Structure 1
Amino acid sequence: MSNQSSNTIAEQQCYHCGNPCEEERLQYDDKDFCCKGCQMVYDILKENDLCDYYELEQSPGINLKNRDFADRFSYLDNAEIQEKLLDFTDGRMSRVRLFLPAIHCSSCIWLLENLYKLKEGIRQSRVNFSKKQVLIEFLNESISLREVVETLASLGYEPHISLEENDQKKKPSPNRTLFLKIGVAAFCFGNIMLLSFPEYFGFDGGWDDEYRRFFSWLNVFLSLPIVFYCSTDYFLSAYKGIKHRYINIDVPIAIGIVTLFVRSLVEVVFDFGPGYFDSLGGLLFFLLTGKWFQAKSYESLSFDRDYKSYFPLAIHRKEAGEMKPVPVANLQVGDEIMVRNQEIIPADSILVSGEANIDYSFVTGEAVPVLKKSGDKIYAGGRQVGPSIDLIVKKKVSQSYLTQLWNQDGGKVATEQDQHSMINQISKYFTILVLAISAIAAAYWAWEDSSRVLNAFTAVLIVACPCALTLATPFTLSAVLGVFGKHHFYLKNTAGVELMAGISQLIFDKTGTITYAGKGKISFEGAPLNPAEKLWVNAIVKNSTHPLSRKVADYLETDVKLPLLTQFEEVPGKGLIAQVEGREIRMGSAALVSAENAGSRGVQFSSVHLAIDGLYRGCFVIQNQYRDGLKSLIDRLKSTFKLALVSGDNNAEAQNLQAYFPENTPLVFNQNPDKKRTYVMLRQEEGEKVAMLGDGLNDAVALQAADFGIAVTDDISAFTPACDAILDSSQLHRLDEFFAFSQTARKIIISAFAISFCYNIVGISFAVSGLLTPVIAAILMPLSSISVVAFATLSVKGLAWRKGY
C-alpha cells in the first residue's frame, strides 16, 4: 500500500515548476506543489491576478525548493556596493541592470515585465532576452535594492551579481552549443556518406548483403544524434509556435526532418532500401552552418549599430588651463570637464564647483531638477540647468548608455515594431502557403510516381524560406544608417529611415538652423557698456549654448577672468536671466527685458536686448549670415516638399528670406516654442507628414511633435533627445540627398523582396518536380538569405559611393 502511495506522489508534478513531487506533496487551491516556495509564488501571482503566467507555458516556473535567503543579500544594503551596481539613482528613484541566468522562455519575460504588479515600489522592468538581463526602475522610499533582488530570487530568478568593475567590456562568448551541433552533424554526415559509398556506385550484387544491412543500421544509429540533438532547436521552436497558435518558419523544417527520418527508418526496417540518412545529415549540417552565418551577420549588424552609428558627442575638457571641446570617447577617469546650461553630463562624475541643478528627465521621465552640491556624485544622462559647472570624471564614459537614453523615448518606436509585425505576418502566411504546396506536390507524385514523393515533399519544405524576406528590411535600413553616419547625419533608429521616406512637408527654424551660429556682423546699439558690464554680459552668455548667445560671447571675447554667477536661468524662446556681482541682468527678447523705450533699435536684424537692474541699456544687433548653399538647397527641395519657415525672431529679415524661399512659402515670425509646436500640429491635421528642422533648444517641443524631428547643430555638445535625428550643420546642404536616399532605401527593400520571391518561385518549381534533393535544398536555403543580405547591403553602399556619399 505504501509503495503504491509513494508511486502516486512521484507521478504528481508541481503546478509551478513541473518537477515531480518526490519528497513532499503540497496541495493548495486544488493544485499540487513540490515545496513551499513554489506554492508561495503561485499565491503571489494569484493575489495579483497574474495567473495568465501559467497559460503561456505549462509549468513555466523555476524550482524553489529549500530557498531560504535569510541574510544572504544583506551586503546589498551597503552604500558602496549599491553605488557599484546601480546605473542611476537620484535618492528617490534608482535603476539597476541585473543578469538573470534562469530566464529561459516567453513566460519568464512576461512575469519579469510584470514585476510592478507584484511588488510595490517597482516602477517598471524591461527584459533583454538575448543577454538574459532585466533593467528595473524602483522607488527608494518603497523598496530597497536588497528587496528587489530578494523578490527576483523568490520568484526563481536569482541574479548573478558580480562586484568586479562593471565597465569592463566582456567579449561575447561564441555559441558553443551551435558549434557543437555543427560538429556532431558534420561527423555523422561524413560517416554516413562513407558508409553509403557502395550504394552510390551501385555495388548491389558485388558485396555481401549482410554488410549492406549492417551499414544501413549503422547509418540509423548515426542519424539518431542528428535527429534528437542537432534538430532540437527546430523541433522546440516549431512546438512552441504551434502551441501558441502561430506557424513559424521552423514548422516546415521540422516536418521535413521528421519525414526524412521516418521514411528512411521504414526503408531500413523493412529492407526496402538504404534510406535517405545522407540527405538528413547533409540537411542539418547545412542548416546549422547557415544559421551560424546568419548569426555572424547579425553580430556584424549589431556592432555597426552599437559603435559606428553613434553621434560624436563632445564636451569641454580642461587642458593646460583652458577648456577645449573633445569627443566624449576621449574622456578618461580623472579629467576635469565643464558642462554648460542644457548640456548632457556624459559620464558619472563628482561636482567640484558650487551648486548644480540636474534635470534627470531623460533618465527618469520627470523634469524636476535635483539640487547637487560640491562633492556630490552626478550620474551620466543628467542635464545641467543653470550656470556652467565643473566636474571630475569618475567613471569611464559609456556612449552606448547615452544613446540608450536617446532611444528611450517611446513616441515613434511603434513604427519599427509595426515593421517587424508586418514581416512576421509575411512569414506566417508564407509558411502556410509552403505547407499547402508541399502537401499538393506529395499528393500529385503519390499518384504519378511514388519514388518522387519524399523528395518533392521535403525539398519544398526546406527550399522555401521567408528568412530572406525578414532580413531584407533590417539590413537595408541599417546599411543606410551607416551611410548617413559617415556624413554626420545620425538617426535614432532604423524606423527613422522609413519615416523620412514618407515626409511631405519641411518646416525650418531660422536662427542656428539656416544661419551660422558663429558668423555674422554684430554691433551694440545704446549707451556704451563699461568694462565691468561687458564682463557681466560675457559671463552670462558663456553659460548658454543658444546660437545668439554664442555670437555675443564671440563679440565680447576677453582674456580677463569672468565673474561668477550667483543665479542663472535660460527661458526657452525668451532669453537669459542672471545674477552677477549683486546685479540682475536680463538678455533676450524685448518683452523679457521690458524694453518699452527700445525705439527702433534692432528692428532690421536679429537682436538681443539688454537690461541691467531693470534699466534698459540697448541691444546687440546681429546681421545673420545664411549658410552656404542654402539657396540651391531650397531650390532642390521645393520640387519635392512643401516648405515653411517658423522663427522665434521678429520679421526684420523677412525680405532677405524671401530671396531664398519660393514666393508662396509661409514665413511665420514671433513664435515661442508652444506656437511652433501648434504650427506643426496644424500642418499634420491637414494631412501632411511633417519634418521639423531646429536647433534643438527652443525647438525641442516642435521637434518632438513632428513626424520626424531633425536637430541641426554647430556644436555637437548640444545634444537633445527630443529629436529623431541629429545633423551636423556642415552637412545641411545635403539634406535633399538624405531624403532622396531614404526613398532609394525603400526601393532597395522592394527589390530585395522581389529577388526573394523569385528565388522561392524558382526553388519551389524545381522542388515540386521531385528533382531537387533535400541536401541541395538545405544548401540553397541559407544561400538565399545570405544573397539577399549581400544584395541589400552592397546596393546601399554601391549607390552611396556612386552618388558621392
Structure 2
Amino acid sequence: MKIHSCYHCGDTIKSCVEFDEKSFCCVGCKTVYEIFSENGLSSYYSLEAAPGAAPSKFEGKYDFLNNDKIVGKLLDFSDEYLQIVTLYIPHIHCSSCIWILENLNKIKPEITSSQVDFPKKSIRVTYNSQKISLKDLVLFLSSIGYEPYISLEDTEGARKKIDRTIIYKLGVAGFAFGNVMFLSFPEYFEVNEFWLEQYKGLFRWLMFSFSLPVVFYVAQDYFISAYKGLRAGILNIDVPLALGVLVLFTRSSLEIIFDWGTGFFDSLTGLVFFLTLGKFFQQKTYNFLSFERDYKSYFPIGVTRISSENKEESIHVHDIEQGDRILIRNEELIPVDSILMKGNARIDYSFVTGESQAVIKETGAKLYAGGRQISGMIEVEALKSVSQSYLTRLWSNDVFQVKKEDSVTSLINKISQYFTIVLLLIAFSASAYWAFYDLALAINVFTAVLIIACPCALAMSTPFTLGNLLRIFGNKKFYLKNAGVIEQLAKADAVVFDKTGTITSNKKSRISYDGIPLSAEEESQLKNTLRASNHPLSRTLYDMLAEYDIAPPDEFNEIIGKGIEAVHKEKAIRVGSAEFVGNNSPVQSLNTSVHISTGNQYKGRFIFYNEYREGVENLFRELAPGFDLYILSGDNEGEKTRLEELLPKNTKMKFNQKPEDKLNFISELQKKGKKIIMVGDGLNDAGALAKSEVGIAISENVNVFSPACDAILDAGAFHSLYQFVRASKKGMTVIKISMLLSFLYNVIGLYFAVTGQLSPIIAAVLMPLSSISIIFFATVCTNIIGRRI
C-alpha cells in the first residue's frame, strides 16, 4: 500500500482529504492551501518541499487577548489606527517561512507590514488596529501554521532563551566517538584470536549504530544548510563538509554490509566531534566578546528630569525610573513609554513606524518610546525604566537605513562561493588520481581536502575584527550604529565640520547683551521660550539667564535654521537670526548672535564669544595630511580670522550656510568622488549627516538620539576623532592580513591533504584550530589598536 504525505505539512496521511488534485492530512492544511492559492501565494510550495505546519486546535486558547491590559503589555506601539507587535514563532525554520510571513499583507490587507528576524524566530507585525485585533492576528497566524508562542514572560520583559543544542550534540558526538574508538582497538592492534573472529561482526555493527546519531542528528545542520544552499543555487561553505561526512558514512556502511573491512567510523565520528567542538569554542568566544550593543553602556543620551521641588536636572537615560517626571523639548525623542502630563503633544512616530504624519495627543494619553515631540515642550511621567534593546532596535530601524557599500563583506561572500567550487574540483581531481593506486587512500584524500580547506576562518575574520572594534569604540565613548560604519570610516578622504555646538563648546561660551534692557517679565518670557528648544545656542543662553517660575508658552514654533516664535499670554516673542526677528539694521556684530523681539519691537541681541573645544587645533593638525577639511557654519564670518589662525591652511570655510546649503555642499563633494565624514550637532545638520558616508553627531548632555546619524561621539572624546578614524583603517588592515593567513592555512593544508599525508580526523582537528587562531589574531590586534586610542 502506497503511503502519501500531506502536500502542505509533509505529515503521513491517515485520513486523506483531496483537493485540487492534491492530498492533505486534514481540513486545516487544505484550508491553508486554499488561502495561499486564492491570494497568489502558491509559489510558497516551490521554495521548500512540504514547508508548512499543520494548523493546531486553538479554539478559546487566546481569549486572554481580549484583556486590554495584557495586550498593552505585549504591544511595542499603539495609537488610534496602528499597532506594532513582536511575536515569537517557533515554527520558523526555512526560506519559505520567511517568504510567507513577510507577505502577510497579501493575504490580510489589514496588515501593513511584517518583518522576520530569522535567528530569533520572531516577527514584527504592523497592522491596522481598527480592522483587526491582536487576538485576530494571532488566530490568523495560527490558522496558517505559524502559531505564536506567548507566555507570561512576554508581558514582564524580554525573553532570553539559552540554546543548549550544541552542548547536546557535542555530548552525543563525544560519546559515540569514544565508543567507536574503543571498539576499533582490536582492529588497530590486529588481534587475531578466536574472540576477534567471533565478535568482529558485532563490533562493526555496533560502530555503525553509534555513527547513526552522529550523522543524522549531530551533523544534520551541515546537510540542511548545504541542501538549502543548493536549492537556492549557492555553494555555501557547508557543502564540502556535508559531502565529506556523506562519503565517509557511505563508504564505511558499504564495507560493513559487504564485509570488505571495518570502514572509517572512527574517522567519521571523530571528524564530526571535532567539528562540533570547534563550533562550540567559536560560539563561546563570540559570546565572550559580546559584540551586541547594550544601550545602557553605549548611548550617552541625557534627559531632563523635573524633581519634586520643581528643579530641572540632567540625568543619563538609563537612570530614568518609573514615576519620574521628564521634560521633553522640541525635536527631542521620548526615551520611555510614558503618560502625557502637561503641554501640547504633537508626536512624530516615523522613527518607529516609518509614517511621517504627526499625531496629536491630549493630556493623560500614553506616549510610546521612540516618538519625537515636534511642537514645543511637554512633560511626561515615565511608566517604566528605559528599554535598552528597544531603543537600540529603533536606531537600527530599516526605515532609516541607507544602503551603503560594504565591500569587504560582499568580497568575502564572493570568495567563499568561488572557493567552494575550486575546492570541490581539487577534491574530485585528487581522489580520482589516488583511486588508481589505493581506493581507501583516495577516500581519505577526498574527505581531508574537503575538511581542511573549509573557508570558515576567512568568513569569521571580518565579523570578529569589526565586532571587537565596535565594542572598543563604545568603551571610548564613540558609539556606532553598526560594524559597517567602521569600513566607511576607513574609506573616508574628507571631513566636514559644523561650527556651532560641534567644534565650539557650549559650556565655555561667554555671552554679552547689546540692546534695550529686558524687563523681568520679558526675560521670564525669553527663559520659558528657550526652555522648549534643543538648539545648542538656546541651551547655552537658557543656562545663563536667571531663574524664573516655569510657565510653558501657549504657542510654540521652532523653524530649523532660523529661530523660535512663541506666544505667552497673548504676548508674542521671536528669538533667532536678525532677519527672522525683523532687524534690518545694516550694522551687525561679526560674532555669533541671537536676536530678540517682543511684540513688533526689536529689543537687542545676545552676542556669543565662542570657546573652541579642547584639542580642536591638534585634531585638525592630525587630520590635515590625509583629509580635505571643511567647516560649514550657519553664522556670519565673525570667527573667520580666528579660525584661520587656529586651523591648518588647507581648511576651507563656508559661512551663512542654511541646513539645505549644507546638504547641497555634501552632494557636490560626493559628485567629485569624495568619501565624507560629516560631524554635526544632530539638529540643524540632520540632512547633511544622513547624506554623508558617515554622519557623526556630537553629544553634549542633550538628546541627540537621531536616525540621521551613523555614530554618536561624546563631546569629551571629540579630540580623539582622528584616533578612531586611524583605528578603523588599521582594523581593515587586520582583516586583510587575517584573510591572507586564512588562505595560507588552506594552501598548506591542501598540499598535505592532496598528497595523502593528512587523515580526515587530523583535518577535523586542524580546521577549527585555524578558525580559532584567526579569531585570536584579530582579537589581539584590535585590542592593541584600541589601547592606542
> TM-score, normalised on structure 2?
0.95
Deviation at 1:133, TM superposition (A): 0.8
**What letter is aligned with 1:51?**
S
Task: Confirm or deny that 1:37 pairs with 2:28.
Answer: yes
Question: Counterpart of 1:645 in 2: which secondary structure?
Answer: strand
**Residues 715, 592 of structure 1: alpha-carbon distance in 2 compared, 3 angstrom cutoff:** same
| Residues 581-628 of structure 1 deviation map (CA, whole Å, 9 limit, x = unaligned) | 3211100011211112x4424x22000010101211011111111122
Which of 309, 317, 330 is the matching residue for 1:328? Answer: 317
Give the Å deviation of 1:335: 2.1
User: What are the superposed Cα offsets for residues 336-368 of structure 1, whole Å, 9 maximum, x if unpaired?
Assistant: 222222221111111222332222121122333
CA separation of 1:208/1:648 partners in 2, compared to 1, >3 Å: closer, same or farther?
A: closer
Aligned to 1:338, what secondary structure does the other structure show? strand
Q: What are the equivalent positions in structure 2 for 1:749-764 lying under 5 Å apart?
A: 749-764=735-750
Deviations 1:454-477 (A, max 9, x none): 221111111111111111111111
Match of 1:494 among 467, 483, 497: 483
With 541-550 and 229-238 compared, the bigger mean Cα shift is at 229-238
Select the residue among 675, 684, 696 that pairs with 2:682: 696
> In the aligned structure 1, how far is the partner of 2:554 from the partner of 2:284?
56
How far residue 529 of structure 1 moved from its aligned partner, in angstroms, is 1.0
In structure 2, relative to structure 1, the CA distance for the partners of 1:417 and 1:641 (3 Å cut) is closer
Per-residue displacement from partner, 1:202-223 (whole Å, max 9, x unpaired)? 4346864223443233222222
* Identical-residue share of aligned pairs (%): 46
Deviation at 1:489, TM superposition (A): 0.9
Taking the TM superposition and a 5 Å limit, the aligned residue runs for 1:712-751 are 712-751=698-737
**Range with bigger deviation, 266-275 or 521-530:** 266-275
How far the C-alpha of 1:705 sits from its partner, in A, is 1.2
Q: Is the 8 A contact 1:341 1:544 kept in 2?
A: yes
CA distance in 2, matches of 1:21, 1:211: 43
- The residue type paired with residue 600 of structure 1 is V
- 2: CA distance between counterparts of 1:366 and 1:357? 14
Q: Is residue 685 from structure 1 mapped to residue 685 from structure 2 by the alignment? A: no
User: Given that residues 41 and 154 in structure 1 are in contact (C-alpha distance below 8 angstroms), is that contact kept between their aligned partners in structure 2?
Assistant: yes
| Aligned partner (choices 192, 195, 199) of residue 180 of structure 2 | 192
Provide the residue aligned with 2:381 in structure 1: 392
Q: Which residue of 2 aligns with 1:361?
A: 350
2:772 counterpart letter in structure 1 = I
Residue matched to 1:157: 146
SS in 1 for 2:533: coil
1:13 corresponds to: 5
Residue matched to 1:23: 15
- Unpaired segments ≥5 residues, structure 2: none
| Stretches of structure 1 lacking an aligned partner (at least 5 in a row) | 1-6
The 5 Å alignment of 1:119-158 reads 119-158=108-147
Name whichever of 615-624 and 445-454 sits farther off: 445-454
Q: 1:414 to 1:784 in 2, by over 3 A?
A: farther
What is the deviation of 1:704? 0.8
Opposite residue 64 of structure 1, the aligned amino acid is P
* 1:61 maps to 2:52: yes
Tell me, in whole angstroms, the C-alpha distance in 1 between the residues paired with 2:293 and 2:520: 51
Q: CA deviation at 1:547?
A: 1.3
Could you say which residue in structure 2 is the equivalent of 1:644? 630
CA distance in 2: counterparts of 1:414 and 1:785, whole angstroms: 30
1: CA distance, partners of 2:288 / 2:402: 23
Measured in 2, the distance between the counterparts of 1:39 and 1:590 equals 72
- After superposition, the Cα gap between the structure-2 partners of 1:38 and 1:31, relative to the gap in structure 1 and judged at 3 Å, is same
Question: In 1, distance between residues paired with 2:127 and 2:511?
Answer: 51
Code of the residue aligned with 1:225 in structure 2: it is P
Check the 8 A contact 1:92/1:140 in 2, yes or no: yes
Q: What pairs up with 1:654-673 in 2 under 5 angstroms? A: 654-673=640-659
Deviation at 1:758, TM superposition (A): 0.6
- Separation in structure 1 between the aligned mates of residue 402 and residue 367 of structure 2, nearest angstrom: 29
2:570 and 2:252 mapped to 1: Cα distance? Answer: 94
CA contact (8 A) 1:585 1:612 kept: yes
2:517 is paired with a residue of what secondary structure? Answer: coil
- 1:301 to partner: Cα distance: 4.9
Change (3 A) 1:268 1:32: closer
- The equivalent residue for 2:580 is 592
Given residue 729 of structure 1, which amino acid in structure 2 is its aligned partner? Answer: A
What secondary structure does 2:782 align onto? helix
Q: Paired residue for 1:504, among 478, 493, 499?
A: 493
Please, which of 342, 360, 365 is the counterpart of residue 371 of structure 1? 360
* Aligned match of 1:95: 84
Q: What's the offset of the Cα at 1:319?
A: 4.1
How many angstroms does 1:398 deviate by?
Answer: 0.7
Question: How much has 1:524 moved relative to structure 2?
Answer: 0.9
- Could you give the per-residue CA deviations for residues 503-540 of structure 1, whole angstroms, max 9, x where no partner exists? 12111111001111122221111111111111111111
Output the aligned Cα RMSD.
2.2
- Whether contact under 8 Å (1:460, 1:768) holds in the other structure is yes
TM-fit CA distance, 1:169: 4.1
Secondary structure of the corresponding residue to residue 792 of structure 1: helix
Residues of 1 paired with 2:702 and 2:480: CA distance? 14
1:430 to 405, 419, 434: 419
Give the number of equivalent residue pairs: 788
- Residue 711 of structure 1 corresponds to which residue in structure 2? 697
CA distance 1:604–1:58, shift in 2 (3 Å): same
Alpha-carbon distance in structure 1 between the residues aligned to 2:614 and 2:413: 46
- Equivalent-residue separation in structure 2 for 1:614 and 1:84 (angstroms): 50
Aligned to 1:339: 328
Does residue 626 of structure 2 align to residue 626 of structure 1? no
1:481 to 470, 485, 493: 470
